[in-house]
Structure 1
Amino acid sequence: MTSAFDASTLSSQSESGSSSVVRLSEVTKRFGATIALDQVSLSIRRGEVLGLIGRSGAGKSTLIRCLNGLERPDSGDIEIEGRSIIGLGERELQPLRRRIGIVFQHFNLMSAKTAADNVALPLEIAGQPRAVRNARVAELLELIGLADKADAYPAQLSGGQKQRVGIARALAARPALLLSDEATSALDPETTDAILELLRDINRKLDLTILLVTHEISVVRAIADRVAVLDGGNIVEQGPARRIFASPCAATTRSLLRAYRPTLPDDLAARLVAGWGERTLLKVVVIGARARAPLLAELALATGLRVSLVHGGVDRVRGEEVGVLFLEADGRDRAQFSAALDFLRLHADEVEVLGHVAGDA
């Protein structure tokens, strides 16, 4: 007998319903007196890569377990492709779990099975005919670049190759969501880059929704479209990756990203004085095309005010330029300085006056 919550039901709902693959609404989960998730609301849009970051104990693992039905929230709602999973029995949850492919940190391959057999395992469990399994496995091994390793056992594969097999296995049942649970944490930097490139390629080719749960900020910076920050069971900040990296709002986010974004050095901060000074320190954020424009030269031409770049620079987030510039400007002519601020606010994404510097600094 077909479950009321099968793949065909999910597919028809996704075609006519919400553009969100996953939607959490005020989800709360307690373990005794400990609140692991506190009214968490979060959506993951179809075809996007969402990076979920947070310190150890922030609630990331609990959120994952709630998503695949291994934990039941105490309150709130979780929808997968427009269908609430709250209250579903174990039998009804099985088709749901096939809609979520999971890539694990330590690969979790079966050592006695070949790469091809590991990839085929979800299809075998689902009762797919051998011919269907073989065709899908061949397709996926080609996609991950391991067609020549079909008969190799995990012990014969490198760490990166094992993770590629893990990714192929997670894709076998054509899931709606690929959940990457610290999938690159056990890999060296070069292999990590290769796996991230594979995930980018899969996201583009398959329009696959990916949730990256990680403590590796560099992973999120490389491929996430959006970022959500979990702290103490709460989503404290979320938004486009370029905005989060350029100008994080929450203290937790600023702390997590400290090594990945320019901040005002202590020696420059120590030069700031109360009241008006002869020079003024500014923080200017520019993103995308604005980061590629000759902003400082255009500022000088438009207002006559010459400024110095004293710290910061331009980075790339998800392949897009993000500039955080700390500028020192002559502030003695207040009318000229005011005109320069107006120019910067028109041509930059964010402008902040950090303070003033004494004339003899």
Structure 2
Amino acid sequence: MPVADAGLLPPAPVAERLAADAFAPAPSNPAGDVVRLTDIRRSFGATAALNGVSLSVRKGEILGIIGRSGAGKSTLIRCLNGLERPDSGQVLIEGRDTTRLSERELQPLRRRIGMIFQHFNLLSAKTVADNVALPLKIAGQSRRERLQRAAELLDLVGLAEKAGSYPSALSGGQKQRVGIARALAARPALLLSDEATSALDPETTRSILALLKDINRRLGLTIVLITHEMEVVRAIADRLVVIDAGRIVEEGPVWKVFAEPRSHITQSLLEASRPRLPPAIAGRLSDVPTGEAILRIDAAGEAAEAPFLAQLAAAVPGGFRLIHGGVDHIQDHPVASLFLGVAAAHASEAVAFLQARAVKVELIGHVQDDD
């Protein structure tokens, strides 16, 4: 992988210098939340895009907001950056209610919010350095100050040697790195990422996510990721909010939501990233309670760390057959997702044994013995 797409920040002194000078002074905000939304509602005609959304984002947190197309994600992000006014409710950014501010009063607050876009939105006729410095030009800073800041940020994202290049000479990953540098130019307190990796290949996506994670860790920058990709949230987010039809249907630490999704919308979004029963067995499933019972097992945290499979093998006559799955780690928490086969006659015994150990068990059907 080229150095420019490696997802690494420059040596510590550069990052520390940027961290020390990362943000402009913030208004008083005793609660410590960079963002707080309370009962946000926004409709377009008879369609409710947001229907009572309340959430908070803590300083230094990476929050992932995920949902299908049309769930309300775009309207939510436009309410966050002040481009959309809710019909009712409060949008507090660093303690200030943006719904009460005039357009003129919103301008300095918008400079506290950086934006990264799916399609980069770079100006083709300007150099990389001038693209990064554009927010500072709009803010009225001198060219010397603008270019000095642009040089620091291009160093931060691994593109110092591209300052004089034009966007047409860059790869997709490099363009997004320029977009990230531009979003940081005005020293924001909040970075909004709107489907920032959707137009990138998987390898480049990983490098961009690694860069965002490093920026969050070293600079303490608060990030809100809007996406429809569970793997993006899993890679770097601390907390996850699932939105559907303008409402929050689930939220919590990423590892917990992945391990124990409650909403059917969340379960559907997670389907591609969870182990599936092999087709050869799935095609033979039956409701007839004979032969082999097929169990889906989910465990997380302490339950996943316990030797529950060894205990099950000793406790249930005939033991079990491990069909598919394994143990993964999300945010350093073990998450187990497995398919087991046990003799139908002992299925209820196996289910009760596992449930007593905080393991989630679902009997999904039976497979008859081959003749």
> TM-score normalized by structure 1?
0.85
SS at match of 1:13: coil
The answer on 1:226 being equivalent to 2:239 is yes
Shift of 1:295: 3.6
Q: Distance in 2 between matches of 1:356 and 1:153?
A: 59
After superposition, the Cα gap between the structure-2 partners of 1:252 and 1:339, relative to the gap in structure 1 and judged at 3 Å, is: closer
1:18 and 2:31 aligned: yes
Give deviations 1:255-285, integer Å, cap 9, x for gaps. 222211135567458645467x675543332
Q: CA RMSD in A?
A: 2.8
Shift of 1:111: 1.7
Question: What is aligned with 1:354?
Answer: 363
Aligned mates of 1:221, 1:359 — CA distance in 2:
37
Q: 1:146 to 1:273 in 2, by over 3 A?
A: same
Equivalent positions of 1:5-154 (< 5 A) are 11-14=26-29, 17-154=30-167
Equivalent position SS for 2:37:
strand
Q: Which residue of 2 aligns with 1:161?
A: 174
Q: Deviations over 1:171-192 (max 9, x none)?
A: 1112111111111111122111
Cα shift readout 1:299-333 (whole Å, capped 9, x = no counterpart): 44577773322233234445654221122335646
Whether the 8 Å contact between 2:284 and 2:367 is mirrored in structure 1 is no
Equivalent of residue 214 in structure 1, options 220, 227, 248: 227
Match of 2:192 among 162, 179, 189: 179
Q: More deviation in 323-332 or 154-163? A: 323-332
- Assess if the C-alpha contact under 8 Å between 1:283 and 1:325 holds in 2: yes
Structure 1 unaligned residues grouped into runs of 5+: 1-6
Aligned sequence identity (%): 58
Does the 8 Å contact 2:308/2:354 carry over to 1?
A: no
- Could you say if the C-alpha distance between residues 111 and 322 of structure 1 is closer, same or farther in structure 2, counting changes exceeding 3 Å? same
Change (3 A) 1:340 1:103: same
**Are the counterparts in 2 of residues 36 and 59 from structure 1 also a CA contact under 8 Å?**
yes
Q: Is the 8 A contact 1:282 1:351 kept in 2?
A: no
Instruction: Report Cα offsets for 1:108-142 as digits up to 9, x if no partner.
Output: 11222221111111122222344443332222111
Q: Note the C-alpha offset of 1:343.
A: 5.5
The TM-score with structure 2 as length reference comes to 0.83
Matched, 1:252 2:265: yes
| Offset from partner CA, 1:14-33 (integer Å, 9 cap, x none) | 4xx12321111111101111
Q: Is contact 1:283-1:354 (8 Å) kept?
A: yes
Q: Is the 8 A contact 2:355 2:361 kept in 1?
A: no
Letter in 1 for 2:360: V
Residue 226 of structure 1 deviates from its aligned partner by 1.7
Q: For 1:307-346, what aligned pairs fall within 5 Å after superposition?
A: 307-318=320-331, 320-330=333-343, 332=345, 337=350, 340-341=353-354, 344-345=357-358
Aligned length: 347
Structure 1 pair 105–43 and aligned structure 2 pair: CA distance change class (3 A): same
2:248 to 235, 238, 246: 235
d(CA) in 1 for partners of 2:204, 2:108: 33
Q: Cα distance 1:288–1:149, how it changes in 2: closer, same or farther (>3 A)? A: farther
- Displacement of 1:39: 0.8
Gaps of 5+ in 2: 1-22
Q: 1:324 to 1:126 in 2, by over 3 A?
A: same
